[in-house]
Chains A and B, each alone.
Chain A
Amino acid sequence: MITPSNVLETHLKNRYRRGTFWKVAFYLSTVVAITFLILLLLNIINGAFGYVVVENSIDPVSLEVHGRTLEEMDPPELIGILETHLSRGLIRRYNHEMPLEERSEHEVLQLVYERVVAPKIIKSWTLFESLLQGSAIREWKASNSPQGILEFRTWLNLNFIRSPQSPTPEFAGIRTALLGSLWMIVITILFAFPVGVASAIYLEEYARDNLMTRIIQVNIYNLSGVPSIIYGLLGLAVFVRLLEPVTSGALFGLTDHSTASGRTILSAGLTLGLLILPIIIINSQEAIRAVPQSLRDSSYGLGATKWQTIWHHVIPSSLDRILTGTILSVSRAVGETAPLVVVGASTFISVDPNNVFSKFTTLPIQIYQWTARPQAEFRNIAAAAILALLVLLLSMNGFAIVARDKIRKKRRG
């Protein structure tokens, strides 16, 4: 017989069971989210290390003279090797770019490796394949490429960071892209930080609650939701096309009018500056809003003017938050790709940028271009470049935290 208390008990049991079921579901969802992050990172590491089989056109040992390896040779000897192995036309071209005699030993040695030894990657494996199928890889090598060299490679290495871009993955590096990113970021900060903080100060300290202020405020929120690629279109039409004389440097006589193009570091940096401006404004507004009113009141009470109060009290006591917010937005800019493709990042440049009117490529652009290539070796260097990018972003965020703590300590002490 079912008594009321019985009904309650079975109900309660069911309710608790349901509760446990969903609790597990919520918990598992969280585990899934974290698993994605781990997979994402593992996938990158997986691509950035692993075995490769490399075949040299000429064995470096055969180039040795009296048992001295290439590294131990003098530049004249290395140039001799170049002259005996390369066509005369090619040598002339190199001499035309920059006479071989004037190049540093490192450059000449690099040239010997690239052109004479000319290693070619026959096949590359991911880290997991390398760890789990070592014997199969060695068998493959023995039957398919007996003269090749099997080696375990860390794709992200010092050479990779130091070398400029190259069409062969074996010699490609991120030097040009890294420098491009840094140059661009300086422009972005120079534009977005002062303008952003000034806007925030105006909106929080000066603006009255009128129609104009409300329009500005709503507009800033809407801007922060505009897709980044739209900013790319804006940059393309305004900085690259309309302001070409300025952004190409032609106006200042820095570039020829004939070759002038607005697709420069300056255009890219300004485009990203516009992109992160709303975020910097919103972050800075929150920082300024957190400053207690009593601080302002006591400053006024001592006879300070409005600007004196802001400059000596409001800004110093919100600076830590403003800086953290800015660095977070800047790290977003460092990782942006789409707007820069639209603005016109170069697909291939191997010369270091030397001013803001240089053509540009950046780390994310490089990653995009390498990832889009079908060959496995390009995936490897893309993974290595991603690691470099993540390290750069992490160190920026780390710097933000350290700077914030320093400022806080100083303020208290």
Chain B
Amino acid sequence: MQNSLRGKKRPGEKVISSLLFLSAVISIFITLGIVIILAKESFLFFGSDEVSLKEFFLSKKWQPMIGEFGVRPLLNATIMTSSIAMLVATPLGIFVAIYLSEYASQRVRSVLKPILEILAGIPTVVYGYFALTFMTPLLRLFFGRDTVEIYNTASAGLVMGILILPLVTSMVEDALSAVPDSLREGAYGLGATKLEASVQVVVPAAFSGIAAAFIVGLSRAIGETMIVALASGAGPNFTFNPFKAAETMTGYIVRISGGDIGYDTMDYNSIFALGLLLFLFTLVLNIISRIIVKRYQEVYD
């Protein structure tokens, strides 16, 4: 009797677990697909006579029409918009997080956190509309219509900062609330004020989480597309002036692929080469953030 029960074969169980395993493996194939496709098209791009790796990284011109493929203007614009975004999102995000985690009452928090979630749930194209119809006119009002072009990296960067703000805030807030109360109480016991306890004890204790938030935010800013596509202008431009139009890497990809694009042309291959660069940037940033969290995380019991 016991034996017959134990011996009962259940082929269905095996089939189901294999199916589940297959589903889980799909995610590996997505990564493989991304890597293979980006690598293959980039290989075609760099393999052609028109462009060399040296030219790609050193030339200051990106003009596919005349065979100039220097990534620096696009890269420069990406760095400009992301830096401006991080200049907005980092201090603001950390301040808001400190307020939410250390100062705000339970009731205030329960109102504010959903509001930040709403901000995080708004599609990026809406932020693009905001940049073009609100931020740009505002900048032109402040700094004069002659200094600020209709399309400029400042407007895109500022609005991108607002976009990233909820992400940074929620990550920093998680890190701050993970710090145990015993540390705060210890600080108060030594006579610290609320500010001193927060800034000199809690914030350093949550440093790894804050650093990770910064890096994840930066990686998000580098890959952000619709805001720059709408607000920072079409056409590569090597400039450090934030009030001038300059196209970012993502902006270029969207503009080129939005038109009718023929397969296996230089244009087609070039967007994959830029995609590969973008993929590597964000991958490295994501890995760094995970290492920081893992290695420097204080362990509290």
A residues bordering B, Cβ < 8 Å?
Answer: 15-16, 18-19, 22-23, 25-27, 29-30, 32-34, 36-37, 39-40, 43-44, 47, 194-196, 198-199, 201-203, 206-207, 215-216, 218-223, 225-234, 236-238, 241, 274, 277-278, 281, 305-307, 328, 331-332, 334-338, 341-342, 344, 347, 364, 367-368, 371-372, 379, 382-383, 386, 389-390, 393, 397
Q: Which of A39, A202, A331, A344 contacts B121 (CB 8 A)?
A: A331
Interface 1/0s, chain B 22-38, versus A by CB < 8 A? Answer: 01111110110110011
The 20 sampled A-B contact pairs (Cβ below 8 Å) are A16-B193, A26-B95, A29-B99, A33-B116, A47-B133, A195-B23, A198-B19, A202-B17, A221-B286, A225-B283, A226-B223, A232-B253, A237-B272, A307-B17, A342-B271, A367-B129, A371-B129, A371-B230, A389-B126, A390-B122
CA distance A43 to B28 in the complex (A): 42
A379, B133: Cβ atoms under 8 Å? yes
B13, A203: Cβ atoms under 8 Å? no
A341, B254: Cβ atoms under 8 Å? yes
CA distance A342 to B275 in the complex (A): 11
* Chain B residues with CB under 8 A of A372: 230
Chain B: minimal CB distance from A279 (Å): 11
Chain B: minimal CB distance from A353 (Å): 20
A230, B99: Cβ atoms under 8 Å? no
Chain A: minimal CB distance from B281 (Å): 9
Q: Which of A225, A227, A341 contacts B216 (CB 8 A)?
A: A225
- Flag the segment in B56-64, B180-188, B194-202 that touches A: B194-202
Q: Which of B17, B24, B133, B226 contacts A203 (CB 8 A)?
A: B24
A238, B37: Cβ atoms under 8 Å? yes
Known: A198-B20, A227-B222. A371 touches B257 (CB 8 A): no
- 5 tightest Cβ-Cβ pairs between the two chains A and B: A227-B223, A335-B123, A29-B95, A198-B23, A202-B20
Look across to chain A and name the residue whose beta carbon is closest to the beta carbon of B257: A342
Q: Which of A199, A221, A233, A344 contacts B253 (CB 8 A)?
A: A233
B213 within 8 A of A: no
B237 within 8 A of A: no
B96 within 8 A of A: yes
* Chain B residues with CB under 8 A of A393: 121, 123
* Chain B residues with CB under 8 A of A368: 125, 128, 226, 229-230
B134 within 8 A of A: yes
Interface residue ranges of B214-258 to A (CB < 8 Å): 216, 219-220, 222-226, 229-230, 250, 253-254, 257-258
Q: Which of A26, A43, A236 contacts B134 (CB 8 A)?
A: A43
A202, B23: Cβ atoms under 8 Å? yes
Look across to chain B and name the residue whose beta carbon is closest to the beta carbon of A206: B17
A229, B195: Cβ atoms under 8 Å? no
- A26, A39, A236, A347 — most chain B CB neighbours (10 Å): A26
CA distance A230 to B30 in the complex (A): 11
CA distance A389 to B129 in the complex (A): 13
CA distance A195 to B103 in the complex (A): 42
Interface residue ranges of B118-147 to A (CB < 8 Å): 118-119, 121-130, 132-134
CA distance A34 to B119 in the complex (A): 9
Chain A: minimal CB distance from B53 (Å): 20
CA distance A393 to B23 in the complex (A): 28
Look across to chain A and name the residue whose beta carbon is closest to the beta carbon of B258: A341
CA distance A23 to B121 in the complex (A): 28
CA distance A215 to B116 in the complex (A): 33
A219, B31: Cβ atoms under 8 Å? yes
Beyond the given A34-B112, A36-B165, A198-B24, could you list 15 further A-B residue pairs with CB under 8 A, ordered by the A residue number? A26-B102, A29-B99, A40-B127, A43-B133, A196-B23, A215-B28, A223-B30, A225-B219, A227-B223, A232-B253, A334-B123, A344-B257, A364-B123, A367-B126, A386-B126
A338, B16: Cβ atoms under 8 Å? no
Look across to chain A and name the residue whose beta carbon is closest to the beta carbon of B259: A347
A230, B195: Cβ atoms under 8 Å? no
B210 within 8 A of A: no
B169 within 8 A of A: yes
B253, A229: Cβ atoms under 8 Å? yes
CA distance A391 to B274 in the complex (A): 35
Chain A: minimal CB distance from B264 (Å): 10
B100 within 8 A of A: yes
Known: A29-B95, A33-B169. A364 touches B134 (CB 8 A): no
Interface residue ranges of B138-197 to A (CB < 8 Å): 162, 165, 169, 193-196
B7 within 8 A of A: no
CA distance A37 to B20 in the complex (A): 42
Q: Which of A206, A232, A379 contacts B20 (CB 8 A)?
A: A206
CA distance A277 to B285 in the complex (A): 21
Known: A32-B92, A364-B125, A367-B125. A216 touches B33 (CB 8 A): no
CA distance A307 to B230 in the complex (A): 50
B112, A30: Cβ atoms under 8 Å? yes
B34, A230: Cβ atoms under 8 Å? yes
B207 within 8 A of A: no
CA distance A69 to B216 in the complex (A): 62
CA distance A337 to B226 in the complex (A): 7
* Chain A residues with CB under 8 A of B19: 198
A36, B162: Cβ atoms under 8 Å? yes
Look across to chain B and name the residue whose beta carbon is closest to the beta carbon of A207: B24
Q: Which of A241, A331, A371, A397 contacts B128 (CB 8 A)?
A: A371
CA distance A238 to B35 in the complex (A): 12
B300 within 8 A of A: no
CA distance A404 to B195 in the complex (A): 40
Look across to chain B and name the residue whose beta carbon is closest to the beta carbon of A240: B263
CA distance A329 to B250 in the complex (A): 22
- B33, B127, B287 — most chain A CB neighbours (10 Å): B33
Look across to chain B and name the residue whose beta carbon is closest to the beta carbon of A393: B121
Known: A30-B100, A233-B253. A39 touches B134 (CB 8 A): yes
A22, B195: Cβ atoms under 8 Å? yes
Chain B: minimal CB distance from A156 (Å): 14
A199, B199: Cβ atoms under 8 Å? no
CA distance A307 to B14 in the complex (A): 9
A25, B133: Cβ atoms under 8 Å? no
Q: Which of B28, B125, B229 contacts A335 (CB 8 A)?
A: B125
Chain A: minimal CB distance from B290 (Å): 7
Chain B: minimal CB distance from A24 (Å): 10
A29, B96: Cβ atoms under 8 Å? yes
* Chain A residues with CB under 8 A of B194: 19, 23
Look across to chain A and name the residue whose beta carbon is closest to the beta carbon of B12: A307
CA distance A142 to B268 in the complex (A): 52
